Each structure stands twice: as C-alpha cells, then as structure tokens.
Structure 1
Amino acid sequence: MSEEDKALQDAQSSGQPVELLSARTEASDTWALPDGSFSVKRHGTAVRLWRDGAWVAADPTLQFTADGSVVPKASSVAVKFSGGGSGAMLSGVKDGRTLSLAWPKTLPKPTLSSNIATYSEILPGVDLQLKAEVEGFSQLLVVKTAAAAQNPELAKLQFAMSTVGLKVAEDVDTGTLVATDPAGQTVFTSPAPLMWDSSTLAGQLPAPAMQKFAAAASEPAPGDAFEPGVGAEDAQMDTSVSSDTLTITPDQALLTGAETTYPVFIDPSWAWGEWQHWTRVYKAYPKNSYWDAKGDVRVGYEEETGGSDRISRSFF
C-alpha cells in the first residue's frame, strides 16, 4: 500500500485529516481527508526547516553565540548580527552568497528581546534595532527626540557594504535594491526605504470616529515598531548604492518638522529573493516599490487616517 493510500485509509477510518509527511515542505502541508480527497495548506513563509535530517520549527528568536555575535535559532537565511564593537553590523548568507552592512561607528553590546536586537545610543538620542525574520532581516533607526533629530549625522546615513558572489543595484524607478548572483538570479531584495513618526489619530477625527478608533486601539495590536502605526506621518527616502556604500537620505521635513511626533523610525529592510513573492501598493506613493515588504498585508481604504490617497492593495 502506498503512503498516499495509507493516509487516505487512516483519514477515512478516523474521520480526521491525516498529514502526508513525505509531501511536507518548508512552507506547505498536504493532508488526506476523510472524504477521499487531499488538501494542501500553503504558508506565506517557511514554518519549518530541514536541519540534520529532520524538520525543526522555524524560529527567528535571537541568541548570543560563543564568539559574542547574535544569530536566530532557526531561519532560512544565515543571519548574523553584531555582538558589539567594530566590524559588520549585520550579514546574511544564502546559497553561499553574502551581503554585509556596517555602521560607521563602534556599536555597543545589544540587548535581545525575541527576534530584535537593540543597540542603544549609537548617536545621542538614537537607537539602532536589528530584527531577524525567518527569510530576511531588517534594520531600524529610532530617533527618540527633536534634539536628536537635529544631529547632522542624520542628514545622510551611510552604511559600508560588502558582498560575496553578489552585485547590488538600485531600480531608479522604484527605489528597490536588488542583490543578484552572477547568473542574474535575485538573492536579496530591499523595498524602497520608508520613515515615519509616532503621530496617532488623537484629535484628528470627529468625536464619533474617535470613539470608534479608541475602542479598537484599546485592544492589543500585533506587530512592533518596524511597521507604521495608524495615523503616522510617513515619507519615502532616497537611496543610492555604490560598490561599497549604501546611502539613505532621510526626509528632513518629516525628521525635523514642527508637527513631527517622536520617536521617528527610519526603516530599510531586506528579504531573501525566494520563488514566492508579495508586495503592497499604496495610492499615496504610486511609484514606490514594496516588493517582499515586511509587515502587515493591507487591503482597502484606511478610514481612520483619512484622505483619498489612503488606499492599499496587496498582491501575492
């Protein structure tokens, strides 16, 4: 009896779905059903990884290694973050190809919380956060005060960049950065970098709408600082890349504006260029690319933030 027939037989006799283990992949499960059919469940990202002859649960939780660096427990991309000091701030390795970025100054030892490493005060009033994903990594600068935002070192952010077996180029039409191997295959991508402040909807809406929003906001929300909050003011940032430097130019009007609410978050992120892809599009930024963007799927009109341009779509 084949494994498929055995799974169908067990499903029919038990009245419960039975997984066909030989068909399991990093991002899909196949199940025999009691009615004699099969069902395939596909996940948006890897939920398990094949390690040393067995499946292990994907887990981007960060931990220190013996050499002091910081790595996730189980991820598709071999991500390593700095444990403090000089050298690479972060590096990602996939299929023998490496992308590394370095902050121009010495980093303090980070504090770890789940899959986020926080490097405090890399500039006065500015923290750096590095986030591990199962299939990528993100970096976030947190500008905590208006005084911190005036630092001339925030006029342009320059990261030393090194690669092994990769070429990084910018799509000038969308702001997307793409790291490709010698065969032209995409290994890593970075959507157009975005920055946002901590504005909320308080005082922006009529009383009935504000009451509705306040009731919804009282419930715990998923996510973290790596995604703009409802009501946040945001702006795309200019990006340029050379053979050894990645330069990001924050929007000064948002960074230092009189109406800006702090902290301000400055976010470029990277993802592994897998065969599955998705993107968000915003009417507010019709020429921006958010290919393989991190964060929530968004569909429809964001009533709370107002404005006819607050329409989002997501494509897979």
Structure 2
Amino acid sequence: MRRIIELISTRILTGIVTLWVVSLIIFFGVAALPGDIATEILGQSASPDTIQAFRDQLGLDLPLYQRYFTWLANLAQGDLGTSLANHRPITELVSSRLENTLSLAGLAAVMSVPLALALGVLTALFRNSRFDRGVNILTLSSISFPEFFVAYILILFLSVKTGWFPSLARVEDTSLLEALRGMFLPALTLTLVVVAHMMRMTRAALLGVMGSPFIEMAKLKGVGRLSIMTRHALPNALAPIINVVVLNLAYLIVGVVVVEVVFVYPGLGQLMVDSVAKRDIPVVQACSLIFAATYIILNLIADVLATVTNPRLLHQ
C-alpha cells in the first residue's frame, strides 16, 4: 500500500510539473504569434492613441514574464480571465461548453468501449478466421481516414440521404431524446476513430496471455475456449487494456475539436476555434490549458490503474 501511495504521489508531482511546462508553452507560444492583438480587435481604422490605450488596458505594455506570472497567479485562484470579444468571464463561457464536450465524450465512450472490448475478445477467440480478418480490415480502414472525412461520410449517408439524424448537432434548449439524437453522429465519428486502437490492443493483450502455462493447464482440464478467454486470460490482460482505454478516453475529450467544428457542436473545441478567429487570446489560452490538464490527469489515471492491476510494475 505504501508503494502505491508513493507511486501516486510521484505521478501527481510529475503531472503538476508537466502542466506547468505546458502552461509556459501555451502562454509564450500564443504571445509569439505575429500581429498585434489590439489592432486586430479595434481594426485598422483605430487611431494610435486608441490602440495604445487599449494595450495599456489589457496590460500588453508590461514585460512578457510579468504578464505570465500574473496569468499564472490568477489561474491558481481559479480566475481564467475575461474574454476580449464579449467582456464576459471566461469561466462562464467555458463551463457550459465543457459540459457539452464531456457529454459528447461520455456518449462516445459508452458506444466505443464495450464495442472495442467485445470485438477484441471475439477476434482473439477466433484468431485468423474470416471474422478476425474482416474486423481488422474494417477497423483499420476507419482509423486510417481523417476525422472530418468520416464525419462527412456519415452526414452524407445518415443525414442527407436517409434523414435519420440531423447534420448539425443542436443540443441546447431541447429534450434529452432530441439532444441524444443530435449528438449521435459526432459520437459515432469519434467511436469509429478510437475503437480500432482499443480493439487491437485488447486482442494483442489477450493473445499474449494465451501462451502462458496456466492457460495451457486450463485447456488440459477441458475448460471451454470462451471461459478460458473471459475468466482466465482477460483478468490477466487488464493492465494494458485499461491503459489504452483511459488514453483513448483522454483523446475523446481533447480530440473533439475537428468533430465539433464539422457538426457545429457547441463544445469547448468549437469555442476555441471561434476564439482563434476572433483573436480572443485569453479564451484560447484557457481552452488549451483545460485540454492539456484533462489529458495529463487521464494519463495519470491510466498509469496508476495499469500499475495497480499489474503489481509486478511496482517493483520495476
């Protein structure tokens, strides 16, 4: 137990340091972008005095390192800043959009994780069969296409030609059933993108365990193939499976930007893209940091769960 606590403490400290490094990259990377923010917001017709006054109001006249430490201190207090586009607190803008993004990622996870695990078990059970080869071809094909291409194909066949689902994901001010219907195509796009990776890792982990001596002993005792796979092989292959599932859950949250833009889904990714177009730098920084923090936290969870489910890793 003490070793696990030390491991978790070390991983948390590493995550905090990583997040700090990411905050440096985000802040100074955005600051290094060409163009003047004040001129972009006020327009070319603004007088130099007006532009200078606006720069002073935003604190752009301060040294870059001082602006960074001020931004970091505000973040530590939970203050993400104020939007330059509509002068609203960024926390208010982000809260509802983050909830929508998490809802979409949750629906995609509910669809993709059971499907990937079931396909992984079945392809390992019927290794080298036509079913195994067919599933591998389909999943590799889906993961090979860019997300926007998969999204447009789904829109063409499931929205334009059949009219089963809306092409634009309208989820606000609607009933739960209508919201789920609007979220289905974006969630299906994400599912097709991530299910191949989880399925192939599940299959590889199970096949790696199937060569173990205790599996041979179970076969000699006359245990059925399905029972061997689910009761003996699967519990001993959980560490890599849990790791890849959690990492793909992280992707479902941070990798939704393209999908949200295609379906005009009111999530955090759409907010970030809109803010980039408006040169609303504080919102872009806040969204980027939230995505980075989410990915780091889920990576930490994946690492800890993989170690807990495989105690041998504690002694490495």
Report which structure shows greater RCO (CA 8 Å, sep ≥6): 2
Higher strand share: 1
Higher helix share: 2
After TM superposition, the score normalised by the length of structure 2 is: 0.21
Of structures 1 and 2, the larger Rg is shown by 2
